[in-house]
């Protein structure tokens, strides 16, 4: 059987397109991160904006209130948590030494492995190094506090850009949906485009609303439990649990490790630190295995392996922000795969379980004399309040 050269050419083009996309994501991350975050936040608050717009509230007022609440909330968190975080950052080296000392006292095996490693290193470098020469290790580079202060202007600038873009996106109302319909050449393309846009909005809004409520409850629970066991700064750990839980798998691991490390320097015994970290682990396990799978529903479940790979990739590309956007990006890709036949296999690969069929969300209203055809929603959800987008007959 002879394979057409066009097939190899198509695969080559797809490969080059993927490489170009990955390169653009990594190289332009300083610009793309705030843009992506602004669109995610805009999609999340769109149902709220529509509900208020039906009650006569202007989208500009809604945008002003939403952005103001976000700025005040973020500023308050930074103000209340800056003290404890600064203290831990300034004493990071002393904390690391204290943790290492206590861990060495717990397990003799770790110390033996370290000694064996040192001996192997000395043997490997014996021929190249002078035995009488003293090795001096010099640590160059700024400490944690200096590095944080150095990167603060960039972070603040990206945050301001995100909030300003979020304001314009929310204040514009449904303009993008109407432009999307008008820009599509055929009615079939218009219908597919509006279906994809609405499905992404509906699923992302549902995901963020559900996960935010669950994470807030988790943060409260972690803060109360760690306060009960005597951990210092339980508010800090509660907020950390709330934020880190947006990162699948790795967020819980980081939270448990952080709790155990701070517990080692805060308590007299390792058992108390283990109790604090174990309490954190128990709550996150309860949330991840029972509460979240039940709350998000079948339509938002994703392949666990693909989620882990996506978190690792976006974390490599965009650091912590990338880990936050990994799951929303997968949800958007899955929505595209549900409406584009050539991507159906990708959607099956991404999804964790079969999804129930959903109702049609748009239909064509036949044109009347002197009027143009319209595209309107028929799905009985809050998303059906979008003003009909006129389509040229």
Q: Residue 377 falls within a domain, yes or no?
A: no
Whether pLDDT at 131 is above 60 = no
Written as six digits, the tokens of 90 are: 């300034």
Gyration radius of the chain over CA positions:
26
SS (H, E, C) the chain: CCCCHHHHHHHHHHHHHHHHHHHHHHHCHHHHHHHHHHHHHHHHHHHHHHHHHHCCCCHHHHHHHHHHHHHHHHHHHHHHHHHHHHHHHHCHHHHHHHHHHHHHHHCHHHHHHHHHHHHHHHHHHCCCCCCCCCCCCCCCCCCHHHHHHHHHHHHHHHHHHHHHHHHHHHHCCCHHHHHHHHHCCCHHHHHHHHHHHHHHHHHHHHHHHHHHHHHHHHHHHHHHHHHHHCCCCHHHHHHHHHHHCCCCCHHHHHHHHHHHHHHHHHCCCHHHHHHHHHHHHHHHHHHHHHHHHHHHCHHHCECHHHHHHHHHHHHHHHHHHHHHHHHHHHHHHHHHHHHCHHHHHHHHHHECCCCCCCCCCEEEECCCCCCCCEEEECCCCHHHHCCCEECCC
Q: Residue 252 falls within a domain, yes or no?
A: no
Q: Please give the pLDDT value at position 202.
A: 86
Mean pLDDT of 12-27: 84
Query: What share of the chain has pLDDT > 70, as a percent?
Result: 69
Mean pLDDT of 305-314: 88
The more confident residue out of 132 and 64 is 64
Q: Residue 72 falls within a domain, yes or no?
A: yes
Q: Residue 100 falls within a domain, yes or no?
A: yes
Q: Residue 186 falls within a domain, yes or no?
A: no
Confidence of residue 79 (pLDDT cuts 50, 70, 90): confident
Q: CB–CB of 327/377 below 8 Å?
A: no
Q: Residue 362 falls within a domain, yes or no?
A: no
Confidence of residue 383 (pLDDT cuts 50, 70, 90): very low
Average confidence score pLDDT of the chain: 76
Confidence of residue 119 (pLDDT cuts 50, 70, 90): low
Whether pLDDT at 362 is above 50 = no
Confidence of residue 339 (pLDDT cuts 50, 70, 90): confident
- Residue 351's φ and ψ, nearest 5 degrees, are -70, 150
Q: Residue 95 falls within a domain, yes or no?
A: yes
CB within 8 A of 257, min separation 6: which ones? 277
The more confident residue out of 176 and 101 is 176
The more confident residue out of 127 and 310 is 310
Whether pLDDT at 80 is above 50 = yes
Q: For residues 53 and 62, what is the distance between their CA atoms, to the nearest angstrom?
A: 8
Q: Please give the pLDDT value at position 272.
A: 86
Looking at the whole model, is its pTM more than 0.75?
A: no
Q: Please give the pLDDT value at position 227.
A: 92
Q: Residue 73 falls within a domain, yes or no?
A: yes
Confidence of residue 388 (pLDDT cuts 50, 70, 90): very low
Whether pLDDT at 136 is above 70 = no
Q: Please give the pLDDT value at position 102.
A: 61
Provide the domain limits for residue 166: 27-127+155-173
pLDDT digits (tens, 9 = 90+) for 275-295: 999 999 999 998 888 888 777
Q: Please give the pLDDT value at position 65.
A: 93
Q: Please give the pLDDT value at position 64.
A: 93
CB within 8 A of 324, min separation 6: which ones? 246, 247
pLDDT digits (tens, 9 = 90+) for 177-206: 778 778 777 778 788 888 888 888 888 888
Q: Please give the pLDDT value at position 197.
A: 83
Q: Please give the pLDDT value at position 175.
A: 81
pLDDT digits (tens, 9 = 90+) for 153-175: 777 888 899 999 999 988 888 78
The more confident residue out of 194 and 112 is 194
Q: How many CB atoms lie within 10 A of CB 73?
A: 10
Q: Please give the pLDDT value at position 187.
A: 78
Number of domains in the chain: 1
Q: Is the dihedral of CA 165, 170, 171, 174 positive or negative?
A: positive
Whether pLDDT at 70 is above 60 = yes
Q: Please give the pLDDT value at position 217.
A: 93
């Amino acid at each position: 059987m002879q394979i057409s050269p066009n097939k190899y050419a198509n695969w080559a083009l797809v490969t080059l397109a993927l490489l170009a996309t990955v390169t653009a994501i990594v190289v332009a991350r300083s610009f793309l991160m705030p843009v992506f975050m602004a669109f995610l936040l805009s999609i999340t608050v769109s149902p709220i904006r529509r509900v208020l717009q039906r009650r006569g509230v202007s989208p500009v007022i809604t945008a002003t209130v939403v952005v103001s609440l976000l700025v005040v909330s973020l500023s308050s968190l930074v103000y209340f948590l800056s003290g404890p975080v600064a203290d831990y950052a300034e004493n990071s080296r002393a904390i690391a030494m204290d943790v290492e000392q206590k861990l060495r006292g717990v397990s003799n095996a770790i110390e033996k492995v370290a000694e064996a490693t040192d001996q192997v290193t000395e043997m490997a470098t014996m021929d190249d190094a002078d035995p009488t020469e003293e090795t001096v290790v010099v640590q160059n580079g700024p400490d944690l506090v200096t590095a944080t202060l150095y990167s603060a202007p960039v972070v603040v600038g990206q945050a301001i850009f995100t909030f300003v873009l979020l304001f314009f996106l929310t204040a514009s109302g449904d303009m993008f949906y109407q432009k999307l319909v008008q820009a599509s050449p055929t009615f079939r393309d218009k219908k597919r485009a509006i279906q994809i846009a609405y499905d992404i909005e509906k699923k992302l809004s549902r995901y963020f609303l559900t996960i935010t409520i669950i994470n807030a409850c988790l943060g409260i629970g972690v803060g109360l439990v760690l306060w009960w066991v005597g951990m210092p700064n339980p508010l800090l750990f509660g907020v950390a649990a709330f934020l880190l839980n947006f990162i699948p798998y790795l967020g819980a691991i980081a939270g448990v490790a952080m709790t155990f490390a701070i517990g080692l320097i805060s308590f007299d015994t390792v058992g108390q630190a283990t109790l604090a970290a174990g309490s954190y682990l128990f709550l996150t396990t309860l949330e991840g295995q029972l509460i979240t799978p039940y709350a998000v529903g079948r339509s938002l479940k994703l392949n666990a392996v693909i989620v882990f790979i996506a978190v690792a990739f976006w974390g490599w590309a965009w650091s912590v922000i990338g880990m936050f956007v990994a799951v929303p990006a997968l949800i958007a890709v899955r929505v595209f795969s549900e409406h584009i036949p050539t991507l159906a296999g990708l959607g099956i690969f991404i999804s964790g379980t079969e999804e129930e069929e959903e109702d049609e969300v748009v239909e064509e209203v036949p044109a009347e004399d002197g009027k143009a055809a319209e595209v309107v929603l028929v799905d009985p959800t809050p998303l059906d309040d979008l003003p009909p987008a006129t389509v040229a007959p």
